[in-house]
């Protein structure tokens, strides 16, 4: 089990005490602690105009904004997205992209929201298996219905 810190205030004293009780109960049951399993993943998007890029990714992912730089999964299932302001455009093409898998009846709405938020459709020859979109700065993402690919 893992407790997550509040985005603003961090762990409270109550959280720390709860963690201690959980650890004591686990020890009493013979359940070993495995701190190597604790991990958090954040995806960083380099952007010249952060608000424009953030709007696209918020619409595409269904995340919620926290402050001026972060997007968090409202269900705490996926990674957070952070936006790093760039001074100059990147000269090379992106080397990675993000795949977003959604229920088949949600794909069209997610794509429409991302386009309305400033993104554009890059290609769709494999639709309805997947669509490739990009934000205003050409950071790519694929939207694929679950079990739509492969």
pLDDT, one tens digit per residue, over 16-66 is 899 889 889 999 999 988 766 656 678 988 888 999 999 999 999 999 998
Residue 4 lies in a domain: no
Dihedral over Cα of 137, 102, 68, 15: its sign: negative
The 10s digit of each residue's pLDDT in 110-142 is 999 999 999 999 999 989 999 999 999 888 999
pLDDT at 36: 60
Residue 47 lies in a domain: yes
pLDDT for 84 beyond 60: yes
Kind and range of the H or E element at 132? strand 131-134
Contacts with 69 (C-beta within 8 Å, 6 or more apart), sequence order: 50, 54, 82, 83
Residue 8 lies in a domain: no
Residue 13 lies in a domain: no
Q: Are 87 and 49 in contact (CB under 8 A)?
A: no
Mean pLDDT value of segment 55-79: 91
What is the total count of domains within the chain? 1
Alpha-carbon distance of 92 to 131, in angstroms, equals: 22
> Could you give the angle at the alpha carbon of 83 between the alpha carbons of 98 and 102, nearest 5°?
30
CATH classification of the domain holding 139: 3.10.180.10
Burial (CB count <10 Å: 0-12, 13-18, 19+), residue 110: buried
Alpha-carbon distance of 79 to 77, in angstroms, equals: 7
Residue 27 lies in a domain: no
Give the model's confidence band at 9: pLDDT under 50 very low, under 70 low, under 90 confident, else very high.
low
Residue 30 lies in a domain: no
In terms of residue numbers, what domain contains 90? 40-145
- Tally of CA atoms within 13 A in the half-sphere of 42 that contains its CB: 11
pLDDT at 149: 46
The model's pTM is 0.67
Residue 117 lies in a domain: yes
Residue 19 lies in a domain: no
């Amino acid at each position: 089990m893992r407790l997550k810190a509040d985005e603003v205030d961090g762990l409270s004293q109550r959280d720390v005490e709860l963690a201690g009780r959980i650890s004591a109960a686990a020890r009493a049951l013979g359940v070993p602690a495995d701190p190597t399993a604790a991990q958090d993943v954040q995806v960083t998007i380099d952007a010249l105009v952060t608000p424009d890029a953030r709007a696209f990714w918020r619409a595409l992912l269904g995340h919620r904004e926290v402050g001026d730089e972060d997007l968090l999964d409202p269900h705490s299932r996926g990674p957070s997205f952070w936006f790093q302001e760039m001074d100059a455009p990147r000269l090379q093409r992106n080397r990675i992209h993000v795949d977003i898998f959604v229920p088949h009846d949600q794909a069209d709405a997610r794509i429409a929201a991302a386009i309305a938020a400033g993104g554009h459709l890059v290609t769709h020859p494999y639709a309805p298996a997947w669509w490739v979109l990009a934000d205003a700065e050409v950071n790519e993402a694929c939207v694929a219905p679950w079990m739509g690919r492969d």
